[in-house]
Structure formats: structure tokens, C-alpha cells
Structure 1
């Protein structure tokens, strides 16, 4: 009987995780489409509720401010970061980390734990993901060379690193005896 209950919990977690991930991931894509001039463009959403643009602007502004504090001369355009004497990077939709954040949020929300540990881990994890994204943007602005002959793109490198870190963090969180009494040793 006990094995059946645990399998049922695992099944429900899996279903909730997949449904939440797909909902978050495709909602972001839909919203990006609604706030980008074109077929189904919504002026209201673009001008008043464009969280994608707010995230882009925040990432660029924070990266620029940190680079300036470090002694570099950096400026921000609408979706670009330029460091004098280095390079210019363009922050496109795929650089925002929304897919990674969708995965992380879906896992944390779907996992059967109490609300307080979920919320604490969710917000601190999302913050850390974007902090790593800011570090990545700063490093790209200083050191990335846009060579067409590169085999591996910086998106792949970042995704591999971030998913490894997320898997480690999720493993530790799931097996934390303080917030999950049923955790394995």
C-alpha cells in the first residue's frame, strides 16, 4: 500500500511539473508575440505590462552599472550593451533565461513540500538564475568574440552550466531534511 501511495505522489508531481512547465514556457512565448509588433500585437500589453521588456531592461541596466563600477565605460541601448574598447552584445529573447526559469519554477511549484520552503527556494532560485545571467552578460560584453567558426555558442555553454547548477540545487532542496522530513539520507 505504501509503495502505491509514493508512486501516486510521483505520478502527480510529474504531471503537474510537465503541465506547469509547458504553461509557463509557452505563455512567455505567447506574451512575447503579443508585445512584439506584428500580427497579434497588443499596444496596451506592450506599453503597460511588458514584463519581458522590463526583464531585458533590468538585466542590461544592472550589467552596465556593475561594469561601470568596475571601471569600464559601458552604455545601454534599447536591447544592447556596449563596453568601450570591447564589444557590443544584443540581448534577444532567448538570452533572458525564461525557459530556464520556467523549468525551475515548474519543478519547485509542483514538488510536494510546504508553501514557505517552496516560496523561499523559488524566489531565491529565480534571483540566482538572473544573477548568473547578469554575470554572463558582463563576461560576454568584455570577452566574447563573434566568430562564425565557433562550434559551441555561448547559449549552449550557459544552458549547460545553469542546468547543472539547477540540478544540484534541486537535489539538495529535495533531500533537505529540514524542509522535507521524508528525504532520503
Structure 2
């Protein structure tokens, strides 16, 4: 590869990098703000509350319920008695947990979706990574809620030490997601390079 080809390759790589960064930023803003707007639309008393949309399209509450129910099952499996409603979990002789919007993990999911969709990869690989990442975030969040219920029930005197569980959860989730994304990017890069090499090795036909 001569100098002109090298410069052209670098130019194309820079264009792809800029395109990825712009797409990542735009998609993240779009997803995160859409979720915040939907939270306002489906929250009684909020600025944009709409009863019809809240009754029929409230995926915010759907995700909250999907987190609460299995978390309560796990808490009960450890011998505690727990009751719950649409937003709260109360462990008898244990903690009272309120599952707010910030507890749902939608911010992390928005980042994951934006990154995966912005990255140039085959659609099959993209959707597979997106589904795997979202399921991973969901499972970790269920474990966090259940873990808080169990640990705060067992160690009542240490409850003040769990004040920063949101921050700890976010750090753990982002570490897991970054590792998954690194392995996913590495795999896709290898496959792209392999395809290019195979195309280069094919004999030219007249």
C-alpha cells in the first residue's frame, strides 16, 4: 500500500469514527429523553401526564413490575416475608424499597442501544448484542433489588452503609457492558478483516 492509499484509508477511518460518535450521541439523547418524556406522560401529576397513554402504553410501569416481582420471589426464597405494589417492596422486619425511575436502568439501556446501533456491524450481530445486553442489565437490576431486600433485612444496623447502592450498581453494570462491548467489537472486527482478506486472496478473473 503506497502513501496515497494509506492517507485515503486513514481519511475513511476518521470519517467512520466521526460518524459513529455523532450517531452515538444523537441516539443516546433520543432514547434517554424519550424515556424521560414517557415517564412524565405516564406519571400522574407530572407535566405531560396523559391518562390514555398511561393506561395502554406504559412500558415504564411494565419494566418496574418485571423487576419487582422476581426480586420479591428471591427475597422470599431467603426466608423473608415481602409484599409489594406497583412501585414499592416492603420486607417485613426488613427494609422498605421504592423503585423509582432511576432504579429501572433505562439510562444504561439507552447508552447500550445507542452504542450498538451506531457501531457498524451486521444487523444479526447488532440485534443479538442488543438483546444480550438488555437482558444482562435486567438480571443485574433484579439481583440488586433482591440483594438490597435481603442484606438490609439481615444487617439492619448497617443500612446507612447502603446509601450509594445506585452508584455502585451503575459502576458494576457499566463495567459489565464495556467488557461485553469490547468482546463484541473485537469479534466483529476480526470477522470484517477475515472477509477482506478472503476477498483480496481471490484470483482476479478477466
Say whether the fold is shared (TM-score over 0.5).
Answer: yes
What pairs up with 1:1-185 in 2 under 5 angstroms?
Answer: 1-38=8-45, 39-144=47-152, 146-147=159-160, 153-177=164-188, 180-182=191-193
Partners of 2:75 and 2:149 within 8 A in 1:
no
Q: Distance in 2 between matches of 1:30 and 1:137?
A: 25
Q: Shift of the alpha carbon at 1:167?
A: 1.0
Structure 2: tracts of 5 or more residues without a match: 1-7, 153-157, 195-206
**Distance in 2 of aligned mates of 1:95 and 1:21:** 18
Q: Are the aligned partners of 1:113 and 1:180 in contact in 2 as well (CA < 8 Å)? A: no
- Aligned residues between the structures: 181
Secondary structure in 2 aligned to 1:129?
helix
Consecutive unaligned residues of structure 1, counting only runs of 5 or more, are none
Q: CA deviation at 1:146?
A: 4.5
Normalising to structure 1: TM-score of the pair?
0.90
The runs of 4+ residues in structure 1 deviating greater than 6 Å are none
Rg larger in structure: 2
Q: CA deviation digits over 1:61-119, x for unaligned, max 9?
A: 11112333444322212211122332121100100000000001100011000000110
**Structure richer in helix, relative to its length:** 2
Aligned Cα root-mean-square deviation (Å): 1.9
